[in-house]
Each structure stands twice: as structure tokens, then as C-alpha cells.
Structure 1
Amino acid sequence: MGSLYKRDEPSKLKAYTSVFNTAEINSTFYSYPKSGLVLGWASHSPDDFLFSVKLNRTITHEKRLDTAAGVEDDVQRFCDLLKPLEKAGKLACILIQIPPSLKYSHAIVEGFLAILPDGIPFALEFRNRTWLTDDASRLFGNYNITPVMTDGPALPKQELASPDMAYIRWHGRGGRVWYNYRYSKRELEPWVKSIRKLSDDVDVLGYFNNHYHGYAPENCLDVLEMLGITTPNQEQMHEQLRTGQARPAARATTLAEFANLEVSSDEIEKMLLEFMDARRLERARQIKDVEILKEESDLLAADVGGYSIYMDYNGRFILHDCQDWQRGTARRRMCKHVAALLLSLPPEKGRLLLDLIKAQKWDLRPYTG
């Protein structure tokens, strides 16, 4: 979304809501929102603006929907924090994002859906093919859960909806990094046809997650234009994005700019073998779900396969939260998630980071959220 904002933008929410009428909140996945922040969303957005809010990862990725682990209290706490949005009529739904490793289990899923509070719409995104069953579909119907339609490498395109809502997430079709991708209008046309069909019966929410180079707003406006429903503000922003005249965000300086290197991915893999064995490296190669959340001159934050990674260049440390990482930090052994992140970066940057991690003996720490 960076291409929407001026460098000194006083209110990113105001700038965003001047163009779009809904937003998907991702920060709540990593930490519970403060009550004042939610109140600000409700108070400083237009009356007809809608928020879809991602459920906290403690529930989905750590406790993995297990009611025996106390997720009912966690869900209630999360929903209580969203009361200002609910009271303002601005809570479109809560998005439940299931980790790719979580296979479908009737008992676990029904137990979880049964404890969700009434009166709040929920959408559920799964990324494991074991969920593509009639049994799962029946459960979604029984509990009025909207199954999310996704565009990305993990699952085939399907037309899914609840009686009230359809929810679409475009992740991108990039190779190692899904989100580093700009959709063509030809690729979006089948989705436009689906939206037209679905919107005859239900409300359709759609969000682009291919934000790696700010492609998301342009592709979103592409879809709105193809549907013939753009507003004047959207038409103006669309033209600015297409012609490269959109308001530029502050540009993050990357480490690669400080090095004049010609590096291949093979060289990165050889360097990684100093921090891990060949088996872990092979698993890292298979990971495609790498999302850069924040990149600045002194830090890099990412989500890799549902796990968090934070690199602090000045502090010389890496935080990560998978169990293999926690077991290996004392021996300075990396896990497949950190390796996948380094492999996803431009080779020059990956090489320089690995050089610094080794030469400066960066601290490898467990991330506890």
C-alpha cells in the first residue's frame, strides 16, 4: 500500500479511506489490538467503511483451534476488543487464517466453530487440501462460516460463499514469494466474472495481498474498473498508479545497495549450509509462503509459512518462533523458515545478510510475541 501515501502522510487511514471503502487488518494476527487503536479505527473512518480483522495467531497457529487449550477465552477476549467496530456497524467480519500445516479434523473444527460468538460474521481461510471435503463444507454451512476463496499457489480456484457473504483474497502467483506479483487483467477476468455472479446473491469482500512492491492497490482498482464501479477518487488514483505518478512512500534503503555484488542463488544455498544441514535446506526450498511485512534500512519483518521472523540489523539479532529454531539457537543452527526468507530475498541482499550474521555473530533468539 506504500504507493498510496505521501512520505509525510499525517494519517494513512485517512489517505486509504479516501480511495477504498474496506480494509483487511493484518496486525491483529500478531498481537491483540489496544482498545484505543480499535476506537480510533471506528472513530476516524467514514460511516460506511468496513473492516475485516484477522484473528490472533495464538488461537490459530499456536493453540491450533483446540478448545482444550483454552481458545474460547482467547476468542472472547479478541471479540470484546472489537466492540467499538461492531457498535459502529463497521465490523465486516473476523478472518480466521488456518496455518498450512493444520490438516482438517472434524472434531477439532466443529469444537472450535461451536464456541464462536453469535452475531459476528466469520470467514475462514485454509491452505491445506485436506479441508477440501464435503464434511468441511457442511460444517461451514451449519455454523454460517464463510469459506475464503484464495488466488495463490496453495489451492485451486473455487467459488465459495455463505448465504450472506463471499470473501476473496488475492495472494499473488509469484514463484518463491507469492506476494511479489502483479496480476494482469487477463488473470483477473475470471474473478470479475465470479464477483458479478456472486454479488447477485451476497455481499462480496475482496482484498489483495500482493503488496511486495505496492501492486495491491493497482490490482484492486483494476478489478473495480473491470466491474464498472470505480468512484472519481479511485479513477484518479488508478491513473496515477498506472502512469507512475502516485504519491511515493518513503523508500526503504536495502542492504543490497551497499554492496556491488553479483551473487547467484546457488551461492546463497552454499552459505546457508554453514548454518543448517542439507535436509533443512531442501525443506526451505519448498516453502513458497513468504510475506515481507516491513522492510526498512535497519530491519526486516516477515511471515513465513505462518511463523514470524524479525531481523534487526543494528541490534544484530534475529527473532523467530518455530520450535526447530528454538531448539537450534544455542548451536547457531537455522531452521527452514529463516532459510526460506533469506532465499526469497534478492541474492545480493541475502549474501550480505549472511556475511553479517556470520562475521558479527548475530544473536539468534526465540520470538515469544
Structure 2
Amino acid sequence: MSTTQIRVGIGGWTYEPWRNNFYPEKWPQKRELEYAASKLTAIEINGTYYSSFKPASFAAWAAAVPDDFVFAVKASRFCTNRKVLADAGESIERFVSQGLTELGPKLGPILWQFMATKKFDADDFGAFLKLLPTAHAGVTLRHAVQVRHESFATPAFVELARAAGVAIVHADSADYPAIADVSGDHVYVRLEQGVAEEPAGYAPEALDRWTGMARDWQRGAAPAPVPLVADPAPATPRDAFVFFINGAKERAPHGAMALIERLGR
């Protein structure tokens, strides 16, 4: 029996249109994380991209969710939005040291998202990957990188990510390349094309397809017919994280719940 898991969630938990849509009417705002965590299995913390938080905040978030819940954490823009990535060491250390490890076993992957204008430079990007710590304060750290320029769609990038043990984010996007190559010990998926016309953001047949793909990734298979940039990775079972992000954001929780329901069948 596989010990890997598929976790499904949304970005953040504070969003006004979710009130009286996802959250029950008159639900206390201070308990929104508690409610979201009762319906989902993961949340991507986005606020950490814009500012830092105190250790007490991470500890409080961990205390508000079930024991088997997981947070992904979006890394600070000061780490990734820079001309020379190799110079990001101090910013990375500051980000990792702010209190992330207070999440303990509820800490999932750290998401490092790059600007859409950032082009692939093998030497510089390779230097950046070497700066990512594998642990901090006794807590293992896992990393995922979301690149959004077409120049990254090359085997050289996939090879760098695999050598570093870092996952490449597979984004379902109308604007950015979808690189489906597996490179780390987990798979990180961001579904960014939800539409308001669909109650769950994605049509039922699309949700069925993503359900099958998530199961394929979990068991180590490469979902067909998703094209790969490099040779397939070894068929090793992996955790999979699927987040409904952007695009008709008001529908995101319903998409996540619909996918969780399908996975439970």
C-alpha cells in the first residue's frame, strides 16, 4: 500500500467572495482557516510572498488545522524577483528563518515562483537551486519552482531540477508553459484556468481528467498525453499537491472539494 498522498487545496483562506459562498453565512472571519481546513487537505499560503510573519503566526496556523493537514508556503518575492538569482542567499536565509518550521509536520513544499520575464540561465539558476536548504531547525524542507518563461522548456532545466531534487510546478495556464516533467520527490500542480461559468471552476470532464492525472503522478506514472521536455523520470510513487489558483477565484474552493470527492471514489 502506497504511503504517498494526494493533497488538494486553494491559495490562502481570506477572500471576501468566499464569504456566504464557501464559508457559511455569518461564519467568524477569525475561524475561516479552521473551516477551510475541514473541507480541504492543503492550503498554499500566499501572504508570505509579499511580507514576512512572526513564528507565532505559523504556530497559530498549525494549531488551527487537523493533524494530517499540510501547508505549502509561497517564498518571498525578494528571493526570486531579482536579476542575479545566485545573489539570493541572504534573502533565502531570512525567508526560511522567519518561523516556517513552527508548522512542523504540517509544512509541505515551499513554492518559489519566478517572474514571467525571467529567462533560463543554466549557470545562474543552477546556483540558485544550490542555495535552497534541505532542512532548517530539524525540519526537512521540500521545494518546488514555478518558472513562467518558455526558455525553461528545455532538458537542461529539467536536469538541473532533478539534480537538486526540486519539483517543477506543472501549471495549467493560458499564459505560461506547462512543464509536466517530474523532478523531485513530489508533484506540485497549480490549476489556473477556472471560469466563473462552471460551479467548480472547471467542467466535470476536466475535473475527471485532473483526478486521473493526480493518481498517475502519485503512483509514479507520467500522465498521457501530457508532453514532456526531457526523458521520463523513474516510476517512483510521489506525493501530489494540487491547488486551484487564480482564474474565477470565487470558484476555487468548490473545485478543490469536487476533486477531493472524486479522489475518494
TM-score, length-normalised on structure 2? 0.76
Instruction: Describe the shift of the 1:213–1:190 C-alpha distance in structure 2 as closer, same or farther (beyond 3 A).
Output: closer
Instruction: Describe the shift of the 1:54–1:11 C-alpha distance in structure 2 as closer, same or farther (beyond 3 A).
Output: same
**Match for residue 92 of structure 1?**
108
**Match for residue 192 of structure 2?**
171
Q: Which residue identity is paired with 1:67?
A: A
Aligned partners of 2:166 and 2:183 also within 8 Å: yes
Task: Give the counterpart of 1:75 among 81, 92, 107.
Answer: 92
Aligned partners of 2:169 and 2:179 also within 8 Å: no
Residue 218 in 1 paired to residue 254 in 2? yes
C-alpha distance in 2, partners of 1:202/1:18? 24
**Match for residue 122 of structure 1?**
143
Residue 184 in 1 paired to residue 203 in 2? yes
**Match for residue 124 of structure 2?**
108
Structure 2 counterparts to residues 1-369 of structure 1, below 5 A? 2=18, 3-5=21-23, 6-9=25-28, 10-61=30-81, 63-64=82-83, 66-68=85-87, 71-81=88-98, 82-85=100-103, 88-119=104-135, 120-172=141-193, 182-200=201-219, 201-210=237-246, 212-228=248-264
**Match for residue 223 of structure 2?**
none
C-alpha distance in 2, partners of 1:155/1:186? 23
**Match for residue 233 of structure 2?**
none
How far has the Cα of 1:93 moved from its partner? 1.0
Higher RCO (C-alpha under 8 Å, 6+ residues apart): 2
C-alpha distance in 1, partners of 2:208/2:83? 35
How far has the Cα of 1:122 moved from its partner? 0.3
C-alpha distance in 2, partners of 1:197/1:186? 17
Q: Which residue identity is paired with 1:73?
A: E
Aligned partners of 1:153 and 1:173 also within 8 Å: no
C-alpha distance in 1, partners of 2:194/2:36? 25
Cα-to-partner distance string for 1:242-283 (whole Å, 9 max, x where unaligned)? xxxxxxxxxxxxxxxxxxxxxxxxxxxxxxxxxxxxxxxxxx
TM-score, length-normalised on structure 1? 0.56
C-alpha distance in 1, partners of 2:177/2:116? 14
How far has the Cα of 1:173 moved from its partner? 5.7
Higher helix share: 1
C-alpha distance in 2, partners of 1:115/1:36? 26
SS in 2 for 1:36: helix
Aligned partners of 2:153 and 2:179 also within 8 Å: no
How far has the Cα of 1:185 moved from its partner? 1.4
Aligned partners of 1:127 and 1:155 also within 8 Å: yes
How far has the Cα of 1:110 moved from its partner? 0.7
Q: Which residue identity is paired with 2:245?
A: N
C-alpha distance in 2, partners of 1:124/1:11? 31
Aligned partners of 2:161 and 2:184 also within 8 Å: no
Cα-to-partner distance string for 1:184-231 (whole Å, 9 max, x where unaligned)? 0122333222111111111100100136451001111222222235xx
Aligned partners of 2:170 and 2:179 also within 8 Å: yes
Cα-to-partner distance string for 1:135-188 (whole Å, 9 max, x where unaligned)? 0000000000100011111235453323410010011166xx9xxx92101223
Instruction: Describe the shift of the 1:106–1:163 C-alpha distance in structure 2 as closer, same or farther (beyond 3 A).
Output: closer
Instruction: Describe the shift of the 1:158–1:191 C-alpha distance in structure 2 as closer, same or farther (beyond 3 A).
Output: farther
Instruction: Describe the shift of the 1:163–1:72 C-alpha distance in structure 2 as closer, same or farther (beyond 3 A).
Output: closer
C-alpha distance in 2, partners of 1:206/1:32? 24
Stretches of structure 2 that go unaligned for 5 or more consecutive residues are 1-14, 136-140, 220-236
Stretches of structure 1 that go unaligned for 5 or more consecutive residues are 230-369
Instruction: Describe the shift of the 1:103–1:213 C-alpha distance in structure 2 as closer, same or farther (beyond 3 A).
Output: closer
Aligned partners of 2:22 and 2:254 also within 8 Å: no
How far has the Cα of 1:101 moved from its partner? 0.5
C-alpha distance in 2, partners of 1:97/1:27? 13
Q: Which residue identity is paired with 1:226?
A: R
How far has the Cα of 1:42 moved from its partner? 2.0
Q: CA RMSD in A?
A: 2.2
Q: Which residue identity is paired with 2:207?
A: L
Write out the 4+ residue segments of structure 1 that deviate beyond 4 Å after TM superposition.
Answer: none
